[in-house]
Structure 1
Amino acid sequence: MKYLFSLVAGLLLNAVFPQAGQVTWNTSVEKLSDTEYQLVMTASIIEHWHLYTTDIPGDGPIPTSFTFEGAGEDYELVGDLEESESYTEYDNIFDMELSYFDGEAVFKQKIKLLKPGLKAIRGLVEYQACDDQSCIFDNADLAFSLDGGKAEVKQLEVDEKSALLSKSLKLDLKNPEALNTGTQGQSGGSGLMGIFVLGFLGGLLALLTPCVFPMIPLTVSFFTKQSGNRKKGISNAILYGVFIVLIYMLLSLPFHFLDSIDPEILNTISTNVWLNIAFFVIFVFFSFSFFGYYELTLPSSWGNKMDSASGAGGIIGIFFMALTLAIVSFSCTGPILGSLLVGSLTAEGGATQLTAGITGFGFALALPFALFALFPNWLNSLPKSGGWMTTVKVVLGFLELALAFKFLSNADLVEHWGLLKREIFIGIWIVIFALMAVYLFGKIRFPHDGPLKKPGFVRIATGVLVTAFVIYLVPGVWGANLRLLSGFPPPMFYSIKPQVSDCPLEINCFKDFDEGLAYAKANNKPILLDFTGWACVNCRKMEENVWSVPKVYDLINEEYVLISLYIDDRKELPEDKQFNYQLKSGRVKQIRTIGEKWATFQAINFHTASQPYYVIMTPDMELMGPSQKYTDTETYYNWLKAGITEIK
């Protein structure tokens, strides 16, 4: 489990900061004879970090591995890879004996030429490096010169073909200022407030868990009794709450730097296949932790250090008390906060939304400490700790398990595996929530549950609500539009049943801009340009809740040519259509997949990376008014209608 946390942290670090600099690689060549050489790879490792060896147990960290281009054809590898002396000791993170390098590591591979005259060899090293708190997973290109010259790693270049393909993405838009006349959609304020409220509700759930709830009376009593007077105790308790909010807010700060690295980076992270699979596995482990089969905790040394620091007194001591609470309550708050973190990684305002959600979470955790310090008599009305908190944890476990399949569905949709079609996904949710209802009615138990007793009113009432939800889900297996869940199950056209088309609601659409443009010109019809994503929740909500309304459906289907461009489609472009694109920052990025092409196309022409994002334009590239985003039915219908009126 600790490895899984490190894996996700590492994947995020690599997506955000691809050149972290913890390990630097250099190469050299030792000539042994006219046909034999020794390839030398030297890793320089910064202080406090270590690099793992090439021989690591299967359930441990990722071992260092090397790949050499042309091996077996131009030359052969002679003998095994040699490595310098390493250290071996018990690793607390991975709970096993591990071998690693500190400071420097040297690897040597002997080769024998099969083709005389070979002047250079290229290779790749993949590795994991860790310190006491986190790990990075990275790779580096390697180059070796066999003739004494300088061998350089091939840098990305914008050649003539790439320049032409890059230029073809730029549209000659007429009336581009129309986009800035007030982009429509839900206001950012209301959206952020909604995220804040969701975070606040998550924090309230965390308060009801065994890791947090018993801390409330203990902490408040400490402040009121140890502060000398009631006024001082109240101010200390309020300051304690402020620090709790601040600590959780700080978790979102790194994400505010992402847009300056790559406009599509948040979308890349949220739709990354391996990240979604990692989240699936982690959330399954979260759920079984809530079920009581094991405990997830951060290293005990962290909590001990923070607890010792809290004895410093004054403002610093109160800050470390708040940090101690965040650490020791991780086993309960971590899964809930994790849901909020990964759920807020969207292309549009992800960092801002993340801050709003985490602030709401921290505010909910901090609020009772301040309130009960102000009104200590309320402590007498608090329910006693008991079995009800275990019930809350188990219910959260079922919710985490259901959410886990959402991440697996994201990976399935992006890669088009066809493993979790809509009916299968809904069927899995039916089983999960049916088991939750059975548990609430007291028919099954988990390890931390006490002796079986007759369920109370609240538990039975919750069981009835969950049963009603299961009944609501059942028609979805036969193709019903479950509007309350729009965006969570796969889209309706992603079905095991034969479909007329793979377009939303079986509307006739195009998934290539040039093809759609040609059709619009031939039929003299305006274009509805739809920037969407397979793993985009709000895109599904728009399609299933707004597009499905007859008057909206008829307008799109009859009056417009719909061009849906999926910016997270991981299907590779034909080799002759792949190219390198140079960003304004000077960095060159590879365009290898359909999604990368359309994400770049959106950024170049419309200067945004958000989805859903809708534009109305004529076949001769004239924009008809402002763009549209996620919104309600009437607003969207009026926007479509205004576009038709403007064109006519």
Structure 2
Amino acid sequence: MYKITKSISLTLMFLLMTLSSINAQLINPVTWNAELSNQDAKAGDVIEISYHATIKDGWYLYSSDFDPDLGPMLTEVEYKPNNTYQIAGEFTPINPKKKYDELWEGDVTYFKKHGEFTQKIKILKDDFKIEVDISGQSCSDETGQCIPLGKEFVLGNKEAKVSSISSVTETKNTEELKAVSSSGQPAEDESIWGFMISAFIFGLAAIFTPCVFPMIPLTVSFFTNQSGGKAKALFYGLSIVGIYGLFGVVLAPLAGDPSVANAISTHWIPNILFFTIFIIFAMSFFGMFEITMPSSLVNNVDQKSDKGGFFSVFFMAFTLVLVSFSCTGPIVGTILIESVGGAYLKPIFGMLAFASAFALPFTIFALFPGLMKNLPKSGGWLNSVKVVLGFVELALAFKFLSTVDLVYHWGILDKDIMVAIWIAISIMLGLYLLGKIRLPHDSPMDTVSPPRLILATIVFSFVFYLIPGLFGAPLKMLSGILPPQTHHTFDINAIVRQEVENASISNGEQNEMLYPVKYGDIFHLPHGLKGYFNYNQAVAASKKFGKPIFLDFTGHGCANCRKMEDNVWSDPRVLQRLKEDYIILALYVDDPTKLPKSEWITSTFDGNVKKTIGAKNFDFQITKFNSNAQPYYCLLDSDGEKMIPAKAYDLNVENFIEFLDNGVKSFKK
């Protein structure tokens, strides 16, 4: 049974590592820039804007001067009007090529390598500002793949600011350029840095485990007893970082492909797989069995470390990685799994942060062996570190099971059930730290050391923080980790809101809504808000009640969506505006609910038939708004047209209020 369990766990671990090999990173084939013919123009002058597109080899860009009903997306411009300028001419392509397109069965015009468009503008005020979106579609000659893309420009007679809008390879809107890296992936500096800090802490924790800590003096003695020891010690540390960094590089394409990452983060197969892996990791740390590399692999690598020189130093580092796998494997697996669905560089940064902390003591003590005197002696406390990590792994396991429960509407692991499980795990951890629970490989403990007592106090404080969550407390600190508040069996606040609403209905004060709400039995808005989950129904409500539409592209597995709802939407000023000023429309992009065949669509983006609510909504977000990030908020008029630039993840409440107010002003105009 031991060998079978170990083989299964290794297979699952390496399956995760090799998934990335089947997915290539999507590219951004067109780079845009714009320039004014006269940036010092004055009122009354007519100037020209030139738009230049640099197109990658093997790709082409559709022009703007063929039949728009043919099928491909024309290259178009959309100007945000103001009183400093007016359009004075047509948007004109410069010398495009023409061909018969077999895919669309008609004549199209296009550009290769370089494209240029011009537009005449009349300046009305000396201090002018031109805000414009240019969008289009680029296709590959080699693969036939087509990508909607574009860019936003802010031009004027002062220092112009230029920002790019999202294409299929970019995941933030135009207003959030500060949160988008040059690679077109979401930088989310706060999230990336927080993830790296967590990975670094995990790396430090891995040092204090039974299969790593005793290796430090052995490694130090090797480098201090030979010539060039300090240089080799430094190379040893860099080799450890490089080996772990390679794991991140392998997984990076998987995290960098938004559609694949979205599928992995929400589909039941990978999430059940991750749940199983984490349970196995926890059982391993509890002492039920060990996860080790095959002895033949370890021996072969160890033999190569005897050849001398820097070559041997690298294989010494590789040997350490393999030998310590029974302790570090679950930790590394946790970091890699948590990085899936993030930015392209997230697994790389995570592995580099982990490895830097892990390699730190080996390098420092080899460079300065005198510090070894300050190291604590090995003992039973090392196994306690493993057990504590096991409890952490056990708690994280239920996060993945919760995602499946949300996406597939099982209703088994609601928020209060999840909180109860975490309370139980935390209490068990606290009792373990106090010596009330013993596991295999634990040493007898007559007294509780001060560090264990302090850690136990922190754990029990966390338990007291969780307890109100059983009765509906929002637990904002855990937003995005726990299920949303709408999936709470016994939410006192929700019960009170429902009673107030029932009283209002009995008095004839029913809220303005079109009933029945389509998919209202599947989806629910937070904080007692009322809204729609179908685009056509929301547009109809907007026309009937004369309110703009607040469109929220969200997902069951979207952690940032929950953070926005718990920390921004919950503000009374935001709630008031959403309730009184807007028709709320929430479109879930990851819901697997099957649609009737009459509602299936064939995507103009990838040509595939969309058969589920989530697939249809996700395709709608890409094709209409050129974005694939969640959360993504659009303010629409009663015709479903975007009034102002969209907004993405931003926990600044004042910014969100300004966004909503600007939408109302635009709608009234």
10-19 vs 186-195, which moves further? 10-19
**Aligned position for 1:195:** 195
Task: Give the deviation of 1:470 after TM superposition.
Answer: 0.5
Task: Give the deviation of 1:8 after TM superposition.
Answer: 6.3
- The counterpart of 1:317, out of the listed 283, 300, 312, is 312
Task: Give the deviation of 1:172 after TM superposition.
Answer: 12
- The counterpart of 1:482, out of the listed 444, 450, 475, is 475
190-199 vs 494-503, which moves further? 494-503
Distance 1:314 1:557 in 2: 70
564-573 vs 6-15, which moves further? 6-15
Contact 1:244–1:326 under 8 Å retained in 2: yes
Q: How does 1:290-439 map to 2 (within 5 A)?
A: 290-346=285-341, 348-349=342-343, 351-439=344-432
- The counterpart of 1:532, out of the listed 554, 558, 563, is 554
489-498 vs 630-639, which moves further? 630-639
**Aligned position for 2:573:** 551
TM-score by length of 2: 0.69
**Aligned position for 2:11:** 6
Question: Given the superposition, is the C-alpha separation of residues 632 and 247 from structure 1 closer, same or farther in structure 2, using an over 3 Å criterion?
Answer: farther
Contact 1:12–1:269 under 8 Å retained in 2: no
Contact 1:344–1:354 under 8 Å retained in 2: yes
The letter for the 2-side match of 1:358 is M
Task: Give the deviation of 1:580 after TM superposition.
Answer: 4.3
Offset from partner CA, 1:304-345 (integer Å, 9 cap, x none)? 121112223222222222221121111111212222111111
Question: Given the superposition, is the C-alpha separation of residues 4 and 296 from structure 1 closer, same or farther in structure 2, using an over 3 Å criterion?
Answer: closer
User: SS of the counterpart of 1:558?
Assistant: helix
Distance 2:419 2:335 in 1: 22
Question: Given the superposition, is the C-alpha separation of residues 289 and 11 from structure 1 closer, same or farther in structure 2, using an over 3 Å criterion?
Answer: closer
613-622 vs 242-251, which moves further? 613-622
- The counterpart of 2:647, out of the listed 597, 618, 627, is 627
Contact 2:245–2:351 under 8 Å retained in 1: yes
The letter for the 2-side match of 1:375 is F
Question: Given the superposition, is the C-alpha separation of residues 454 and 223 from structure 1 closer, same or farther in structure 2, using an over 3 Å criterion?
Answer: same
Distance 1:212 1:8 in 2: 20
Task: Give the deviation of 1:522 after TM superposition.
Answer: 2.3
In the alignment, structure 1 segments of 5+ residues that lack a partner are 20-163
Offset from partner CA, 1:89-127 (integer Å, 9 cap, x none)? xxxxxxxxxxxxxxxxxxxxxxxxxxxxxxxxxxxxxxx
Residues 1:570 and 2:592 are matched in the alignment: yes
Q: How does 1:592-603 map to 2 (within 5 A)?
A: 592-603=611-622
Question: Given the superposition, is the C-alpha separation of residues 463 and 17 from structure 1 closer, same or farther in structure 2, using an over 3 Å criterion?
Answer: same
In the alignment, structure 2 segments of 5+ residues that lack a partner are 25-68, 81-131, 134-151, 153-163, 166-173, 180-186, 499-519
Offset from partner CA, 1:503-532 (integer Å, 9 cap, x none)? 122211222222222222322222222121
Contact 1:184–1:626 under 8 Å retained in 2: no
The letter for the 2-side match of 1:614 is Y
**Aligned position for 1:253:** 249
Question: Given the superposition, is the C-alpha separation of residues 527 and 283 from structure 1 closer, same or farther in structure 2, using an over 3 Å criterion?
Answer: same
TM-score by length of 1: 0.71
- The counterpart of 2:634, out of the listed 596, 605, 615, is 615
Question: Given the superposition, is the C-alpha separation of residues 13 and 514 from structure 1 closer, same or farther in structure 2, using an over 3 Å criterion?
Answer: farther
Distance 2:431 2:204 in 1: 25
Task: Give the deviation of 1:291 after TM superposition.
Answer: 0.9
The letter for the 2-side match of 1:236 is K
Task: Give the deviation of 1:592 after TM superposition.
Answer: 2.3
User: SS of the counterpart of 1:312?
Assistant: coil
Task: Give the deviation of 1:407 after TM superposition.
Answer: 0.6
The letter for the 2-side match of 1:328 is V
Offset from partner CA, 1:411-450 (integer Å, 9 cap, x none)? 1111010110111111111111011111111111001101
Q: How does 1:503-542 map to 2 (within 5 A)?
A: 503-542=525-564
Contact 2:560–2:649 under 8 Å retained in 1: no
Offset from partner CA, 1:465-514 (integer Å, 9 cap, x none)? 11111011111011111111111111111122486572122211222222
Residues 1:282 and 2:287 are matched in the alignment: no
Task: Report the RMSD for the aligned CA atoms in angstroms.
Answer: 2.8
Distance 2:255 2:603 in 1: 17
Contact 2:481–2:559 under 8 Å retained in 1: yes
Offset from partner CA, 1:261-282 (integer Å, 9 cap, x none)? x641111111121111111111
Question: Given the superposition, is the C-alpha separation of residues 236 and 644 from structure 1 closer, same or farther in structure 2, using an over 3 Å criterion?
Answer: farther
Give me the identity figure in percent: 41
The letter for the 1-side match of 2:380 is G
Contact 1:264–1:599 under 8 Å retained in 2: no
Distance 1:358 1:6 in 2: 21
User: SS of the counterpart of 1:182?
Assistant: helix
**Aligned position for 1:637:** 657
Contact 2:594–2:612 under 8 Å retained in 1: yes
**Aligned position for 2:450:** 457
Q: How many residues align?
A: 492
